[in-house]
Structure 1
Amino acid sequence: MSLRKVLSLTKAGYCRTVKLQTANIFRQNVWLLTATSPRFYSAENLDKTKDAKPTEKVEILGRLFPQAQINQDAQEIKKEQEKFEKENQEKAEENAKSWNRMKMGFAVFGGAMTVMGGIMIFEMGAPRLDDSGAVIEDEFSHMPVVLQYLRRAWKELTFYEKMIKEPSRELLLPDALPPPYQPTYTLVLEFTDVLVHPDWSYQTGWRFKKRPGVDQFLQTVANSDYEVVIFTTENAFMIWPVLDKLDPENKLIHYRLFRDSTHFIDGVHVKNLDGLNRDLSKVIVVDWNKQATKFHSQNTLVLKKWKGDDDDTSLLDLANLLQTIAMSNVTDVREVLTYYGQFDDPIAAFRDNQRRLLEQMEQRDAPEPPLTSSWLRTFTRR
């Protein structure tokens, strides 16, 4: 027998043996499955499964899908929806009632304003009467009656607006006194944050703190050929008592001007110096707000706003500056004020000028060295 044939027989026998072993292993596994799980593979268990009651199935489904819990959740969701819908309905009803009340309020307000407007037009637009009760004719008498009342009422309204925006009078100060009673220069001072600083609290209300050196300042300028005028943008009823305490004898402050003497322009109370009835070449305004004197910036000395610092000495230096102007008999103060107006702090600039002037005076008044010392310095080169 050839070797090839022997190998083929051996191979065929080996394959047959493997197939038999595989079949035996399969049978053993089937038997094991049948022995350990007869419920699934035996006929007896199949019959028992058919005869079993459906309660176990219901219990299993109940565990997986709890119907009672689902029904309870559904009921709660339904209750929440009903509650939400009820709340929305109540809100809608309340909004409707609020809107109706608002419309009624607008109607009542509109009616009241209409009635008040009619009464105002009737009162303000009525023609004026003389002492005997006769009608005084004016520029509107030839117009129809309704138009007459409207035009007169509008004229009255514009008059009150003019009172608010323009000064209460054309000339703010009386005519100057004859010499030598009239001071040469007029000093216009802002009161708030220049001479005093206002402070308010719940315990004390409004209080005014005096700036350091304010009493000495007023005495110095009042005795230095200056007419002192307080011109503030505050109301008179609040500032007048403070001025009485600052100058109880009315010897230092000659005149007092308040908000009613200003022009109200673009939300700012502006001081118009043309109404002072004084020569503007001799008028000096001291203020911290540039906008308050924008019509006459050349006459203004703008200081830094004082906020209550106890170490401030600006008023004393300002008094020296004003005293120097008066002693120098300056013809036009606007030249001096324009020079110091170019500095952010004109008082500091005046201090520097004073210091340099004193140094120059000391050098000028210093004695000259003797001639021998100058020769000795030349030879020794010292």
Structure 2
Amino acid sequence: MSALVRSRTRMFSINSININRFSSSVTTGPSKESIISSSRILNDQPPSSPTQPPPAARAEKKSWNFLKYGLIAALTGGVATAGYATYAYSLDEIDHKTKAFRASANRSIGNASSSFDTFQAYLSSSAMAVPAKLVDLYIDWRRLTEEQVRSFTDPNSDKLLPDVHPLEQHVFTLVLDLDETLVYNDWKRERGWRTFKRPGVDAFLEHLAQFYEIVVFSGKPSTDVDPVVDRLDPKNCIRYRLSRGATRYVDGKHFRDLSMLNRDPKKVLYISAHALEDSLQSENCVSIKPWQGEVEDTALVDLIPFLEYVAKHAPADVRTVLASYQGLDISKEFIERSKEHQRRMQDQKQRGRLWRH
């Protein structure tokens, strides 16, 4: 009995070993096969080709690129042409040169024309319509721009002064600058800004107001000019005041354009410490030494004899008189010429007396 049990136990153990071997071979076999087959599939798979757009999409993209670059080229050419026209030609010249071209776009098509002529005229008019409209838009834009620019650069009126009274047609106009000519503005930290009158300015204004139409012409705003003139001229010797709005703005600077005064330029004198720098008519200028607070200054008073002489003798063109003093100190040169004139007159008198004797 025991021998039978031992033999069954031995058979069971052998079968268990075989089953274990079989199961291990079965479980390891497929795992190795799956790994090998997966690597083969990945390595043997042909490379995938990139997806290409259909021919219709490529043609549409090319058409859009052509249209886009064509519009950019047309816009660039139009801007360049407008820039050159703005630089090289005035608005009136462009209007005159393009008048026939713009008229051709509006040409009417007659009813009596043949079909071919009608089609040709219609085609020509259609081709010219867009460029002609662009030219019209450019002219309107430039006219508006120039008007806006002129409102900032040109004087605020074509006639800065009212018409001369008929009884004062013979009167000369004396234009005076303000800063460093009649007054000096000084600033100090402890007191701020303060305005000082030039020595002799009261006598200068009161005396010459008898002979001249006196005008103050400053490059500052009227809000700065009017309070100073009110304190400077309590006797109203100054008839008119002109400020920055009456100047001409050129290259970042405000110039006095004496031709806009509504006065005969033959009878206009402009006195300023910076006359040749801030006036467009140098032939009408009388330069004076800039005043910056010197107590001993007599420049204004020294000019009175010359200005009185001009007003009394009324030369046909004061610009000719001023040209004879070009580069000289007018007040000193006038004294020398007056002395020389008196010597000549005395010599003539003495010769006349000797001739009578």
| TM-score with structure 1 setting the length | 0.52
Unmatched 5+ residue regions in structure 1? 1-141, 371-382
| Residue of structure 2 equivalent to 1:126 | none
| Residue of structure 2 equivalent to 1:330 | 315
Are 1:215 and 2:202 an aligned pair? Answer: yes
Q: 1:186 aligns with which of 173, 179, 184?
A: 173
| Residue of structure 1 equivalent to 2:330 | 346
| Residue of structure 1 equivalent to 2:106 | none
Contact kept in structure 1, 2:183 and 2:197, CA below 8 Å? yes
Q: 2:225 aligns with which of 213, 222, 239?
A: 239
Question: Once the 2 structures are TM-superposed, how far is the Cα of residue 340 of structure 1 from its aligned partner?
Answer: 1.3
| Residue of structure 1 equivalent to 2:25 | none
* Structure-1 separation of matches of 2:347 and 2:199: 34
| Residue of structure 2 equivalent to 1:301 | 286
Secondary structure of 1:216's aligned partner: helix
Which amino acid in 2 is paired with 1:176?
Answer: V
Are 1:282 and 2:247 an aligned pair? Answer: no
Contact kept in structure 2, 1:168 and 1:260, CA below 8 Å? yes
Which amino acid in 2 is paired with 1:215?
Answer: D
Greater shift after overlay, 345-354 or 356-365?
356-365
RMSD of aligned alpha carbons: 3.2
Contact kept in structure 2, 1:273 and 1:296, CA below 8 Å? yes
* Structure-2 separation of matches of 1:282 and 1:353: 22
Are 1:356 and 2:340 an aligned pair? Answer: yes
Trace 1:313-328 onto structure 2 (pairs within 5 A). Answer: 313-328=298-313
Secondary structure of 2:185's aligned partner: strand
Contact kept in structure 2, 1:317 and 1:351, CA below 8 Å? no
Question: Once the 2 structures are TM-superposed, how far is the Cα of residue 322 of structure 1 from its aligned partner?
Answer: 0.6
| Residue of structure 2 equivalent to 1:18 | none
Are 1:167 and 2:155 an aligned pair? Answer: yes
Count of matched residue pairs? 221
Secondary structure of 1:169's aligned partner: coil
Contact kept in structure 1, 2:303 and 2:330, CA below 8 Å? no
Contact kept in structure 1, 2:289 and 2:299, CA below 8 Å? no
Trace 1:83-102 onto structure 2 (pairs within 5 A). Answer: none
Alpha-carbon spacing, 1:158–1:367, altered in 2? closer, same or farther (3 Å): closer
Contact kept in structure 2, 1:282 and 1:332, CA below 8 Å? yes
Alpha-carbon spacing, 1:369–1:346, altered in 2? closer, same or farther (3 Å): closer
* Structure-2 separation of matches of 1:196 and 1:361: 40
Secondary structure of 1:340's aligned partner: coil
* Structure-1 separation of matches of 2:284 and 2:294: 27
Secondary structure of 2:281's aligned partner: helix
Alpha-carbon spacing, 1:236–1:183, altered in 2? closer, same or farther (3 Å): farther
Q: 2:241 aligns with which of 253, 256, 259?
A: 256
* Structure-2 separation of matches of 1:272 and 1:368: 50
Alpha-carbon spacing, 1:167–1:362, altered in 2? closer, same or farther (3 Å): same
Q: 2:192 aligns with which of 194, 205, 210?
A: 205
Which amino acid in 1 is paired with 2:213?
Answer: E
Are 1:227 and 2:213 an aligned pair? Answer: yes
Contact kept in structure 1, 2:244 and 2:254, CA below 8 Å? yes
Question: Once the 2 structures are TM-superposed, how far is the Cα of residue 159 of structure 1 from its aligned partner?
Answer: 4.1
Trace 1:57-68 onto structure 2 (pairs within 5 A). Answer: none
Which amino acid in 2 is paired with 1:356?
Answer: E
Alpha-carbon spacing, 1:150–1:254, altered in 2? closer, same or farther (3 Å): same
Q: Name which one, 1 or 2, has greater alpha-carbon Rg.
A: 1
* Structure-2 separation of matches of 1:340 and 1:216: 24
* Structure-2 separation of matches of 1:354 and 1:287: 24
Contact kept in structure 1, 2:175 and 2:270, CA below 8 Å? yes
Residues 115-146 of structure 1 deviation map (CA, whole Å, 9 limit, x = unaligned): xxxxxxxxxxxxxxxxxxxxxxxxxxx99xxx
Question: Once the 2 structures are TM-superposed, how far is the Cα of residue 182 of structure 1 from its aligned partner?
Answer: 5.1
* Structure-1 separation of matches of 2:352 and 2:323: 38
